[in-house]
């Protein structure tokens, strides 16, 4: 960003005035004694003042103008990662120095903003590392405990060795889930995992997610019901990512449901906007307190840590859902009644306006 060449050099004019006036008056007064003519003294004073004015102006122009412009441009080159750099408004400056002062004010504000953002990122990173090490510690120490007990003699005891090995294995699986989810969330947060948009038949995808989770639902006596209201809903989205959103939401609705509970999954066009398809996952589960609803999409937040861990939860599922939907320009809406159930709802862009792609669907 470079400053525009201005026709006037305001500071030059301001600098030239005082010496021009003073020298004009002095020369005029001295010459009055000398030539004894007011007219000639005034003429001489005015001539001196004009000459001094021009000389000082040219001198200042030569010496200062370019450097002041360079200083202004250098200040405006303050690097910024977080702020939208537009620079200060130049039209409020009365002269070059004021322009530089405005630029310096803007630079100060930019740096303060950058430092604040960096502090926030730093705290966030520290918190994330703290959370990760805490989450990793629990399964690692469990595995260590089981292996040590087996090593100390339990291996010979057929009653416990299989049980301990199975428990150690369960914790190793937890570590695998956790590392996979961590990898996923960091790729989503750094923007590395951008959605790969294509036309996806939503109903197929929902059936697919339901099939993958049917065994889990049966284990807990939960019934999965797909209300196929829109038989031909096509969305423009990333197939794998939306599959993951569905799996995470349906899995939660099974995990945090009651025995003999139900999960209703449905798709419908938005009442006021047919370019959107609303997908909802409703359960008859334990529900979430209003205070916790705000927090469930935070990383590692779990209402009941032990229940989540018991079911192999990592506390990252909803956080991943939120990131995926945000990268699609959509949002997750949660409504919940503690004790009677929850609804997780989100919208997707309908692919109706991309009929060429739909007709090409095999
Ligand atoms: N359908 C649901 N019903 C009740 N609570 C839920 C539901 N879905 C999520 N939660 C709460 O939100 C928390 C965060 O969910 P999630 O990020 O998927 O982590 P995880 O399932 O691994 O614990 C869960 O631990 C649970 O307390
Ligand atoms: Mg989950």
Percent of the chain with pLDDT over 70: 95
pLDDT of residue 5: 55
What value does the mean pLDDT of the chain take? Answer: 89
Between CA 225 and CA 66 the distance in angstroms is 75
Ligand 1, atom 24, lies closest to the CA of: 302
- Burial class, 202, CB count within 10 angstroms (exposed 0-12 / middle 13-18 / buried 19+): buried
Dihedral angle computed from the Cα positions of residues 197, 203, 204 and 207, in that order, rounded to the nearest 10 degrees: 130
| pLDDT bucket at 1, cuts 50 / 70 / 90 | very low
**102 Cβ inside 6 Å of ligand 1:** no
86 pLDDT higher than 70: yes
Between CA 22 and CA 53 the distance in angstroms is 11
Residue 312 CA: nearest ligand 1 atom is: 22
**288 Cβ inside 6 Å of ligand 1:** yes
**284 Cβ inside 6 Å of ligand 1:** no
> What is residue 315's DSSP assignment?
S
Angle at 211 between CA 301 and CA 334, to 5 degrees: 35
- Are 217 and 285 in contact by the 8 Å Cβ rule? The answer is no
**302 Cβ inside 6 Å of ligand 1:** yes
The ligand with the least distance to the CA atom of 280 is: 1
Between CA 146 and CA 144 the distance in angstroms is 6
- Domains of the chain listed by start with CATH number: 10-112 (no CATH), 125-189 (1.10.287.130), 198-359 (3.30.565.10)
157 pLDDT higher than 90: no
> What is residue 335's DSSP assignment?
E
Distance (Å) from CA 296 to ligand 1 centroid: 7
CA distances from 85 to 74, 78, 89, 98, 342 (A): 14, 9, 12, 19, 44
- Mean pLDDT within 154-163: 87
**CB proximity list for 305: less than 8 A, separation 6 or greater:** 315
- The tens digit of pLDDT for each residue in 93-125 reads 788 899 999 999 999 999 999 999 899 888 888
Of the chain, the end-to-end C-alpha distance in Å amounts to 52
Distance (Å) from CA 302 to ligand 1 centroid: 6
Pocket-testing residue among 184, 302, 310, 343, ligand 1, by greatest number of atoms within 8 A of Cβ? 302
Q: What is the number of residues in the chain? A: 362
**315 Cβ inside 6 Å of ligand 1:** yes
């Amino acid at each position: 960003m470079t400053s525009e060449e201005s026709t006037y050099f305001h500071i030059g004019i301001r600098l030239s005035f005082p010496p021009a006036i003073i020298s004009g008056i002095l020369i005029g007064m001295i010459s009055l004694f000398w030539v004894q003519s007011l007219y000639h003294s005034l003429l001489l004073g005015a001539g001196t003042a004009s000459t001094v004015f021009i000389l000082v102006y040219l001198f200042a122009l030569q010496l200062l103008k370019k450097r002041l412009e360079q200083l202004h441009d250098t200040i405006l080159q303050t690097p910024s990662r977080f702020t939208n750099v537009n620079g200060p408004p130049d039209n409020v400056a009365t002269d070059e120095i004021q322009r530089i002062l405005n630029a310096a004010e803007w630079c100060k504000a930019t740096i303060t903003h950058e430092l604040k953002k960096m502090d926030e990122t730093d705290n966030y990173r520290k918190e994330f590392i703290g959370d990760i090490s805490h989450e990793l510690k629990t399964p690692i120490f469990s595995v260590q405990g089981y292996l040590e007990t087996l090593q100390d003699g339990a291996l010979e005891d057929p009653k416990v060795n299989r049980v301990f090995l199975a428990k150690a294995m369960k914790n190793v699986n937890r570590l695998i889930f956790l590392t996979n989810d961590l990898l996923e969330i960091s790729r989503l947060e750094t923007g590395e995992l951008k959605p790969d948009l294509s036309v996806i038949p939503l109903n197929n995808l929902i059936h697919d997610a339901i099939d993958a989770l049917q065994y889990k639902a049966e284990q807990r006596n939960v019934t999965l019901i797909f209300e196929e209201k829109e038989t031909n809903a096509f969305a423009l989205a990333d197939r794998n990512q939306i599959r993951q959103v569905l799996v995470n939401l349906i899995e939660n609705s099974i995990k945090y449901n009651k025995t003999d509970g139900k999960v209703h999954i449905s798709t419908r066009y938005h009442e006021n906007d047919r370019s959107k398809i609303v997908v909802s996952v409703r359960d008859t589960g334990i529900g979430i307190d209003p205070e916790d609803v705000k927090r469930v999409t935070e990383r590692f937040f779990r209402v009941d840590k032990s229940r989540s861990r018991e079911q192999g939860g990592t506390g990252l599922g909803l956080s991943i859902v939120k990131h995926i939907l945000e990268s699609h320009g959509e949002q997750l809406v949660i409504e919940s009644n503690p004790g009677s159930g929850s609804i997780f709802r989100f919208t997707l862009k309908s692919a109706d306006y991309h009929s060429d792609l739909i007709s090409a669907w095999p």
